[in-house]
Amino acid sequence: MNSTETTGDDAELLERILGGATDDFAELVRRHQSRVFAILHRYERDAQKVEDLAQETFLKAWRALGQFDGRAPFEHWLARIAARVALDHLRKEKRRQNEIGLPELGDDALDWLRSDDEKNELDVRSAAELLELAMRELSPADRMVITMQELEGRSVKEIAVAMGASGVAVRVRAMRARSKLRQALEKLANEKL
């Protein structure tokens, strides 16, 4: 099964779980695990850490299951928990990164970054590495807005709900974050010369 199960199916399952059928939670995890992994992978590239964060997400969901009112699809509620787990993770990582410094960037990514030639191509892996490195210059909240908007294709309204902010605040943050990201990429290109 995948994350496109209907809310009705989830509702039945949730009812059974809250009624004491703990084992059925595994079925709920199986339904939504791919989506949760996909969300968390936008913020953390290490597969083992993604797994740990996914587990944390499902444990938090388990603890708060009684608060799910069923007004929105379960997967949206779960996605918000995953986003919060990711944000907490980014905050912790930000503190840690300030202590250990930045990793090296590959030559392909640097060449692409400096080149104005449209024919110069970049592979998916290098692009993800480059973006990850530049994103580290952003605050966790800025990074979250850019990731949700540009990589997950979420609307301003969805981001606002996930972050507990107003639509205007999200728009302003997105604009500033994009500008900071551009500066970070330029800095990366110049620093390595």
Partner 1 sequence: MNDRKLKQLFTLAQKQAAPAPPADFATDVLRALRGEPPARAPQTLSGFDQLNSWFPRLALASSTFIVLCVALDYGLTAAGVPSLSDGVSQLSAQWLLTPTGL
Give the residues lining the site for partner 1 (CB under 8 A).
17-18, 22-23, 25-27, 29-30, 33-34, 37-38, 40-41, 47, 50-51, 54-55, 58-59, 62-67, 113, 118, 122-125, 127-128, 130-131, 150-151, 178, 181-182, 185-186, 189
The two tokens of residue 20 are 């004491």
Q: DSSP letter at 26?
A: H
Q: Between the CA of residue 9 and those of 3, 17, 57, 82, 118, what are the distances in Å?
A: 11, 13, 21, 21, 48
Which residues touch 81 (CB under 8 Å, ≥6 apart)? 57, 60, 61, 64
Nearer to partner 1, 26 or 166 (CB): 26
Q: How far is the CB of 29 from partner 1 (least distance, A)?
A: 4
CB of 65 to partner 1, least distance (A): 4
How far apart are CB 99 and partner 1 at their closest, in Å? Answer: 26
Output helix, strand, coil percentages for the chain, rounded to the nearest 5.
75, 0, 25
Q: Which amino acid is at 167?
A: G
| Nearer Cβ to partner 1 (146/163) | 146
Least Cβ distance, residue 69 to partner 1 (angstroms): 9
User: Please, what is the minimum distance in Å from the beta carbon of residue 34 to partner 1?
Assistant: 6
Contact 177, 138 (CB under 8 A): yes
The C-alpha atoms of residue 168 and residue 170 are separated, in whole angstroms, by 5
Cβ closest to partner 1, residue 6 vs residue 120: 120
Q: Cβ closer to partner 1: 22 or 155?
A: 22
What is the C-alpha separation between 161 and 70, in angstroms, rounded? 16
Of 37 and 94, which CB lies nearer to partner 1 in the complex structure? Answer: 37
